[in-house]
C-alpha cells in the first residue's frame, strides 16, 4: 500500500513541476494520475473478492466496475450523485452476500426475489453504518478534486481567451513605431530602450490590468484547494482503502446472518429455489501480487472522455 501512496505523491509532485510550463500539461497529468488511482482502487476491490469471497467474485465484478466508473465520471464533471452510486453498490452487494454467506448452498431461481433482497437492504441495514461512512468519505474527498479539475479547465479557458485578444489601432501604431522607427535612420539592429518598451506595453495592456488581481486570487484559490485535498479525506487514502470498508461490511453482515435471515424472510418470504454451482473467480496469484488488474476496460477509453 505504501508503495502506491509514494507513487501517487511522486506523480503529483511531477505535475506541480510541469504546471508552471503549461496548464494543459498539468491538467493532463492530474487527470492521468486520478484515472490510475481509480483503476488501482478497483483492482484492490476485485482482488479482495477473488482472494476472500471467491464464490461471489464474478457476480460482484459488474457492480465493482460500475461503482468505480461512477467515481471517475463524477470526478470529471458528469452529473452523477455520490450518495446514489454508493447506495447502488451496497444494494447490489447485499443479494450476493445473502445468497452466498447468510443463506448459502442454494441460489434463488427468481430474479424478483433477488430484487426484493436488494430493495430490503436499506431497511434491514446488513452493513451497519459502513455505507454512510463511505458516503461521507467519498463526498469529502471527491468534491475537492472535482472542483480542482473544473478550476483548471476554467483557467485554460481564460488563457485561451487572452491569447486571442485583439489590440487597438493605437496600440498597433505604437508597436510599429517602437519596432521600425530606428530603421528610418538605417539603424537596423537597434532595440528600443527598456523604458520606452515598457510604456508601450503598458499602454497596449492597460485594459488587461483589471484581470491581474482576479487572476492572482484564482491562483491562491487553486493553492488552497490543493491543500484541502490532503489529510484524512485525501482521495488517495479514501479510494485505496475502500476495499477494506467493503470487507468490514461483508463481515458484519455475515456475523449478523441469522437476524438478517429472519428479517429478509419477513419482508420477502420464502423463495422457490434451485441448487446451483457458484461461479468462481479464476486469477493468477502472481498477477495479484504485482497489482495486475483483474477487471478489464477498453484501453482506448478513459473516464475523462466518458464524462457526460
pLDDT digits (tens, 9 = 90+) for 99-138: 899 988 655 557 888 899 999 998 999 999 999 999 999 9
Residue 1's pLDDT is: 41
Give the Å distances, CA to CA, from 264 to 101, 102, 119, 217, 277. 14, 11, 10, 56, 23
For residue 195, what are the CA distances in angstroms to 101, 133, 147, 198, 201? 80, 62, 42, 5, 10
pLDDT band at residue 156 using 50, 70 and 90 as cut-offs: confident
pLDDT tens for 190-202 read 777 788 788 887 7
pLDDT of residue 21: 47
Q: What does the alpha-carbon distance between residue 34 and residue 40 come to, in Å, rounded to a whole number? A: 10
Which residues are CB-contacts of 274 (< 8 A; sequence separation ≥ 6)?
A: 106, 107, 109
Whether the per-residue pLDDT at 153 is higher than 70: the answer is yes
| Average confidence (pLDDT) over 254-272 | 89
Strand boundaries in the chain, DSSP class E: 107-108, 273-274
Residue 299 has pLDDT above 50, yes or no: no
Work out the pLDDT band at 53, boundaries 50, 70, 90: very high
Residue 259 region by backbone torsions, left for phi larger than 0, else alpha for psi between -120 and 50, else beta: alpha
Grid cell at residue 17? 513541476
Amino acid at each position: 500500500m505504501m508503495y502506491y501512496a509514494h507513487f501517487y505523491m511522486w506523480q503529483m509532485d511531477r505535475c506541480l513541476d510541469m504546471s508552471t510550463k503549461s496548464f494543459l500539461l498539468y491538467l493532463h497529468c492530474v487527470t492521468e494520475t486520478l484515472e490510475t488511482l481509480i483503476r488501482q482502487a478497483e483492482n484492490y476491490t476485485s482482488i479482495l473478492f477473488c482472494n476472500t469471497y471467491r464464490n461471489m467474485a464474478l457476480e460482484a465484478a459488474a457492480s465493482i466496475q460500475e461503482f468505480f466508473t461512477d467515481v471517475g465520471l463524477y470526478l470529471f464533471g458528469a452529473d452523477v450523485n455520490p450518495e446514489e452510486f454508493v447506495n447502488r453498490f451496497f444494494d447490489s452487494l447485499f443479494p450476493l452476500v445473502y445468497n452466498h454467506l447468510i443463506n448459502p448452498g442454494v441460489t434463488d431461481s427468481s430474479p424478483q426475489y433477488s430484487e426484493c433482497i436488494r430493495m430490503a437492504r436499506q431497511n434491514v441495514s446488513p452493513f451497519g453504518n459502513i455505507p454512510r461512512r463511505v458516503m461521507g468519505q467519498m463526498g469529502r474527498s471527491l468534491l475537492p478534486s472535482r472542483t480542482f479539475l473544473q478550476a483548471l479547465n476554467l483557467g485554460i479557458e481564460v488563457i485561451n481567451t487572452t491569447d486571442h485578444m485583439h489590440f487597438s489601432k493605437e496600440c498597433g501604431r505604437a508597436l510599429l513605431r517602437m519596432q521600425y522607427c530606428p530603421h528610418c535612420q538605417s539603424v537596423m539592429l537597434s532595440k528600443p530602450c527598456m523604458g520606452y518598451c515598457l510604456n508601450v506595453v503598458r499602454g497596449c495592456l492597460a485594459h488587461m490590468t483589471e484581470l491581474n488581481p482576479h487572476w492572482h486570487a484564482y491562483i491562491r484559490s487553486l493553492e488552497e484547494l490543493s491543500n484541502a485535498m490532503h489529510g484524512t479525506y485525501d482521495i488517495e487514502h479514501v479510494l485505496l482503502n475502500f476495499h477494506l470498508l467493503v470487507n468490514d461490511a461483508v463481515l458484519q453482515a455475515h456475523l449478523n446472518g441469522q437476524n438478517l435471515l429472519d428479517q429478509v424472510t419477513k419482508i420477502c418470504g420464502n423463495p422457490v429455489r434451485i441448487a446451483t454451482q457458484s461461479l468462481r473467480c479464476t486469477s493468477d496469484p502472481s498477477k495479484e501480487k504485482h497489482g495486475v488488474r483483474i477487471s478489464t476496460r477498453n484501453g482506448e477509453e478513459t473516464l475523462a472522455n466518458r464524462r457526460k
